[in-house]
């Protein structure tokens, strides 16, 4: 650290600029936020300026409109009509493309920015996003850079967005073929996790988000991992209290790591919440996003867990529990594109390690596991051992040798 330096270089005049900015924002867990009698959204907007009327622009995930509650737009209209003195909706809700499509390239980001500009959203107005993690990432990014940051409220509507991405401080879009290449750190104004949104989520996405719960349990909370093992059946049946608990606990652990982990804006190289993610991000791009983020994360977790065993860090029986839990939750732990090769014949996945290092900056830092609930950072990956781990995934979870290719 340079903080102790009193001079620099050849004795040039040196003044340290130093300040701290405290951040806080409410994360609410609730039901029926758009019920006209609910004041949750209004209170979440006005915790700094009680009782004022707020100018809002709202973006909604098109996939949620198609597959979710068909009367969502009516609900929003009724809600706004019930609170004319508190909320000034400057336009009809704007539907934006769903899933990774909205994050691919700058086109959709520009459209959102144009709307923010067109409707004269200023730094005391609100951009509200309702949708999955991808929509929240893109709308959050546009909000963060319009006027250098307008107030942004997230209403996450997937398990993954409620238990992980929506409660965090990052946003991004994918550029140059690199996942999350362009983005910012920008804490939202408020986050409202309304459990009712999850009800319309397709099974695939309802399961996919659980990968982040397995991940955070493995690095921070062994007891939570045990709980998921005991409640695997409840979770796959979407038993309500189990699903609510897993979302809430996972969100809480992510929030604790970001708020109290000492590096909310990821200036150092350590990235514990990215356990399993170097491979996941690469696999998402190799498969052209045919895998959900959570599905890729499950494979990434399995790979780095097996690698932890091969390096002698983790007992094989602990790793077996991880594989059993992931499979029990319904994840496939193998994908043929794990063996995709680049033009030079090298593994595309393993080349992703270098991209991950570039993304982090500085030293390569990969999170591994030494016990369930305890993570370890390593700064080197043995390519040969990682290939062994890949082959192990193929042999254990891939197609049977006699199956047709």
Ligand X SMILES: NC(=O)c1ccc[n+]([C@@H]2O[C@H](COP(=O)([O-])OP(=O)(O)OC[C@H]3O[C@@H](n4cnc5c(N)ncnc54)[C@H](O)[C@@H]3O)[C@@H](O)[C@H]2O)c1
**Dihedral over Cα of 276, 278, 283, 285: its sign:** positive
Tokens 């999350």 — which residue? 180
Token pair listed for 389: 């781990």
Task: Kindly state the helix (H) or strand (E) to which residue 239 belongs, with its residue range.
Answer: none
CA neighbor of 293 nearest in space, from 123, 383, 395, 174 = 174
Whole-number Å distance between alpha carbons of 93 and 87:
13
Q: Smaller CB distance to ligand X: residue 179 or 357?
A: 179
Token pair listed for 66: 């198609």
Closest residue to ligand X: CB criterion: 63
Establish if 274 lies at the interface with ligand X (CB under 6 A). Answer: no
Whole-number Å distance between alpha carbons of 89 and 67:
24
Establish if 293 lies at the interface with ligand X (CB under 6 A). Answer: yes
Instruction: Write each residue from 62 to 81 as x if it is in contact with ligand X (CB under 6 A), else as -, in one continuous string.
Output: -xx--xx-------------
Establish if 134 lies at the interface with ligand X (CB under 6 A). Answer: yes
What is the chain's percent helix, strand, coil content, to nearest 5? 50, 15, 35
Among 96, 109, 139, 205, indicate the residue that binds ligand X (CB under 6 A): 205
Among 125, 165, 232, 285, indicate the residue that binds ligand X (CB under 6 A): 165
Q: Are 37 and 79 in contact (CB under 8 A)?
A: no
Among 170, 220, 271, 282, indicate the residue that binds ligand X (CB under 6 A): 170
Task: Kindly state the helix (H) or strand (E) to which residue 182 belongs, with its residue range.
Answer: strand 178-185
Establish if 131 lies at the interface with ligand X (CB under 6 A). Answer: yes
Establish if 295 lies at the interface with ligand X (CB under 6 A). Answer: no
Establish if 164 lies at the interface with ligand X (CB under 6 A). Answer: yes
Q: Smaller CB distance to ligand X: residue 161 or 350?
A: 161
Instruction: Write each residue from 92 to 121 as x if it is in contact with ligand X (CB under 6 A), else as -, in one continuous string.
Output: ------xxx--x------------------
Contacting positions for ligand X (CB under 6 A): 61, 63-64, 67-68, 98-100, 103, 131-135, 137, 157-158, 160-161, 164-165, 168, 170-171, 197, 200-201, 205, 208-209, 292-294
């Amino acid at each position: 650290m340079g903080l102790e330096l009193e001079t620099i270089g050849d004795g040039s005049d040196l003044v340290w600029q130093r300040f701290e900015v405290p951040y806080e924002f409410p994360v609410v867990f609730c039901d029926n936020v758009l019920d006209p009698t609910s004041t949750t959204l209004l209170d979440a907007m006005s915790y700094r300026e009680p009782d004022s009327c707020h100018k809002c622009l709202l973006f909604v995930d098109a996939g949620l409109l198609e597959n979710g509650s068909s009367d969502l737009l009516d609900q929003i209209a009724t809600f706004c009509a019930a609170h004319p003195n508190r909320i000034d909706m400057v336009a009809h809700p704007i539907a934006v493309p769903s899933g990774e499509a909205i994050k691919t390239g700058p086109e959709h980001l520009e459209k959102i920015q144009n709307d923010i500009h067109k409707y004269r959203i200023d730094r005391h107005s609100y951009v509200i996003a309702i949708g999955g993690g991808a929509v929240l990432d893109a709308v959050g990014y546009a909000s963060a850079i319009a006027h250098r940051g307008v107030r942004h409220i997230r209403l996450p509507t997937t398990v993954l967005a409620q238990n992980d991405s929506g409660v965090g401080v990052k946003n991004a879009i994918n550029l140059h073929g690199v996942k999350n290449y362009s983005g910012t750190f920008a804490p939202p104004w408020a986050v409202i996790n309304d459990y009712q949104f999850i009800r319309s989520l397709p099974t695939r996405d309802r399961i996919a988000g659980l990968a982040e719960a397995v991940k955070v349990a493995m690095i921070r909370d062994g007891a939570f991992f045990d709980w998921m093992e005991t409640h695997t059946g409840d979770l796959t049946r979407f038993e309500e209290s189990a699903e609510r608990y897993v979302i809430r606990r996972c969100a809480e652990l992510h929030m604790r790591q970001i708020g109290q982990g000492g590096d909310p804006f990821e200036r150092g190289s350590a990235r514990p919440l990215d356990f399993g993610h170097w491979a996941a991000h690469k696999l998402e791009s190799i498969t052209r996003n045919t895998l959900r983020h959570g599905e890729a994360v499950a494979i990434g977790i399995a790979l780095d867990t097996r690698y932890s065993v091969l390096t002698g860090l983790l007992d094989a029986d602990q790793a077996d529990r991880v594989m059993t839990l992931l499979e029990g939750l319904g994840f496939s732990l193998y994908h043929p594109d794990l063996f995709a090769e680049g033009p030079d014949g090298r593994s595309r996945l393993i080349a992703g390690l270098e991209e991950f290092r570039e993304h982090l900056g500085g030293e390569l830092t990969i999170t591994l596991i030494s016990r369930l609930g305890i993570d370890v950072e390593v700064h080197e990956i043995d390519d040969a051992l990682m290939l062994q781990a890949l082959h192990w995934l193929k042999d254990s979870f891939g197609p049977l040798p006699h199956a047709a290719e």
